[in-house]
Amino acid sequence: MADKLLDDLFHETLKDIYYAERQLLKALKKMARAAQSDRLKQAFEDHRAETETHVERLQKVFEIIGKPARGKTCQAIDGIIEEGDEVASEFKGTPALDAGLIAAAQAAEHYEIARYGTLRQWATQLGLDDAAALLEETLNEEAAADEVLTEIAESEGNQEAMNAKDG
């Protein structure tokens, strides 16, 4: 009984992150276009490419559990992406734009990190070791992407926003 429930929960959460990843593919493309610094643009483009792999890995996990790869609307990621859109339009053409885009992107990464951390743990509990390994690979890439964003924020994004205020 307990296993059956965890099984269902795993499948439902997989659908949630599958939807989120596919929305993020589109969002990252837009954010790369909106970003001002070349470094941030590149970071968004690189992570968009990684995100394609995340989608493929999820398709493999669906295969492992014998279910069709199908997403389910995730309001959390829709909200995070919407906030990013708002920042992009409100701060367009200002020195704070990149800092705002980084903040929005990090919210998305943290959402993914939370989801993949949970899914990996459940996969292990369910004895789905191959699925757990796939989920962990993506989890590590999300964490690395988050670190890159922190580094860019520290080295340029926030600095520019502050300089503009001082001057």
Query: Which residue's CB comes closest to Fe ion?
Result: 54
Using only C-alpha atoms, the chain has a radius of gyration, in whole angstroms, of 17
Does 57 participate in binding Fe ion (rule CB under 5 A)?
no
| Residue 46 CB contacts under 8 Å (≥ 6 apart), including other chains | none
Does 142 participate in binding Fe ion (rule CB under 5 A)?
yes
Choices 55-63, 70-78, 98-106, 142-150; region in contact with Fe ion by CB under 5 A: 142-150
With contacts defined by CB under 5 A, how many residues of the chain interact with Fe ion?
5
**Nearest distance from residue 29's CB to Fe ion, in Å?**
13
* Alpha carbon distances (Å) from 158 to 47, 95, 145, 165: 21, 9, 18, 11
Q: Interaction with Fe ion in 79-118: which residues (CB under 5 A)?
A: 112
Does 120 participate in binding Fe ion (rule CB under 5 A)?
no
Nearest to Fe ion of 21, 98 (CB atom): 21
Does 54 participate in binding Fe ion (rule CB under 5 A)?
yes
Report whether 60 contacts 123 (CB < 8 A).
no
Please name which of 31, 53, 62, 66 lies closest in space to residue 149, comparing C-alpha atoms: 31
Report whether 106 contacts 144 (CB < 8 A).
no
Q: What is the contact surface with Fe ion in residues (CB under 5 A)?
A: 21, 51, 54, 112, 142
